[in-house]
């Protein structure tokens, strides 16, 4: 039985679509209000798809988060090839591959530096990313989710190794890598049909088992204590940040899933945290899509989504590719 046959939602068992449409919708909701503070968002909360604003883009325009996700999905459908993934990221930025309207309009500094390094022949893609503590923006977390289909049935050590390799194309620091790994572990459970609370409980168990016996830096590891606490859902909204820092994004996405009852509620909660709204929206939207199914995404949001048909087709191919591997 394919792993997603156990899914409990009304979705026609197409987790590729669920994931990709969820990411693009969450991203597009946040694009017009990127950089707005929590205070501003509380006065003028986002309640639906709007346009223009921060990047002067029409409604339904998604950004780098979705573009790089689509590049990764497209490459994984062909093969697991880090070099090809890195070159696809370059094609996005320099040639407009998988952009909403033909050209890239946003890129993070760490990602930009990595794409430049990837132009040098002989640079191993998994060594192209930034490795410093200051390279812990959410730039690899925001594009990592399609890897969940590739890793879902692998042993945990291999799941971590793949998360590390794919994150490190742009973001190689332990904190970014571990954030990607934990986010993917949560996603695996949703794909298998778990609810948010159940997925969180399993994540905590898996992480604790994985950490035991490893000599990871205690201080680094302790940064994940909060998200790996069974009471994390009860943290106050005021303690959850929507900034571009990878730990904030990981926490925000899981917290929004644990504190909402449908797709709309989860992504609006994420975007209205303020700051890096498109990325928090995308990271949360991917998980919310997997949990609720793409049919739960409001129709009027999907209607204006840029390149909706292309995204659905890519989602179909992703589902089919990993269906065949079962």
Contact residues toward Mg ion (CB under 5 A) are: 63-65, 106, 278
Q: Which is nearer to Mg ion, 18 or 278 (CB)?
A: 278
Q: How far is the CB of 65 from Mg ion (least distance, A)?
A: 5
Choose among 190, 223, 193, 229: nearest CA to 208. 229
Choose among 255, 252, 16: nearest CA to 138. 252
Count the alpha carbons within 13 Å of 5 in the hemisphere toward its beta carbon.
5
Q: Which is nearer to Mg ion, 24 or 203 (CB)?
A: 24
Q: How far is the CB of 63 from Mg ion (least distance, A)?
A: 3
Q: How far is the CB of 278 from Mg ion (least distance, A)?
A: 4
Q: Which is nearer to Mg ion, 49 or 196 (CB)?
A: 49
Structure tokens at 215: 């000599």
3-state secondary structure 35-46: CCCHHHHHHCCC
Residue 263 sits at φ, ψ, to 5 deg, of -60, -50
Q: Which is nearer to Mg ion, 38 or 55 (CB)?
A: 55
Q: Which is nearer to Mg ion, 26 or 172 (CB)?
A: 26
DSSP-derived secondary structure for 266-288? HHHHHHTT-SSHHHHHHHHHHHH
Q: How far is the CB of 289 from Mg ion (least distance, A)?
A: 17
Alpha-carbon distance of 180 to 165, in angstroms, equals 10
Q: How far is the CB of 189 from Mg ion (least distance, A)?
A: 26
Alpha-carbon distance of 240 to 248, in angstroms, equals 7
Q: Which is nearer to Mg ion, 278 or 296 (CB)?
A: 278
Q: How far is the CB of 25 from Mg ion (least distance, A)?
A: 13
Alpha-carbon distance of 221 to 81, in angstroms, equals 29
Alpha-carbon distance of 11 to 322, in angstroms, equals 17
């Amino acid at each position: 039985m394919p792993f997603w046959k156990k899914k409990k939602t009304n979705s026609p068992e197409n987790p590729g679509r669920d994931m990709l449409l969820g990411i693009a919708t969450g991203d597009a909701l946040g694009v017009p209000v990127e950089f707005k503070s929590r205070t501003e968002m509380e006065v003028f909360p986002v309640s639906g798809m709007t346009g223009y604003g921060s990047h002067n883009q029409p409604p339904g325009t998604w950004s780098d988060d979705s573009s790089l996700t689509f590049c990764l999905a497209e490459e994984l459908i062909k093969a697991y090839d880090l070099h090809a993934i890195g070159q696809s990221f370059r094609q996005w930025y320099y040639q407009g591959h998988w952009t909403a309207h033909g050209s890239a309009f946003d890129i993070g500094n760490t990602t930009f530096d990595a794409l430049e390094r990837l132009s040098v022949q002989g640079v191993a893609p998994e060594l192209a990313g930034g490795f410093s503590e200051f390279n812990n923006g959410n730039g690899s977390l925001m594009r990592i989710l399609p890897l969940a289909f590739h890793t879902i049935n692998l042993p945990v050590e291999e799941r971590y190794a793949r998360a590390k390799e794919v994150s490190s194309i742009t973001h190689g620091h332990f904190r970014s890598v571990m954030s990607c790994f934990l986010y993917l572990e949560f996603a695996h459970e949703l794909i298998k049909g778990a609810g948010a609370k159940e997925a969180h409980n399993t994540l905590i168990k898996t992480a604790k088992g994985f950490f035991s016996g490893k000599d990871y830096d205690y201080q680094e590891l302790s940064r994940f204590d909060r998200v790996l606490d069974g009471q994390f859902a009860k943290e106050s909204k005021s303690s959850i940040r929507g900034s571009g820092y990878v730990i904030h994004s990981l926490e925000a996405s899981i917290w929004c899933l644990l504190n909402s009852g449908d797709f709309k509620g989860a992504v609006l909660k994420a975007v209205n945290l303020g700051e890096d709204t498109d990325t928090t929206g995308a990271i949360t939207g991917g998980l919310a899509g997997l949990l609720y199914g793409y049919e739960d995404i409001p129709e009027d949001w999907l209607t204006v989504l840029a390149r909706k048909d292309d995204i659905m087709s890519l989602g179909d191919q992703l589902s089919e590719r990993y269906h065949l591997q079962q």
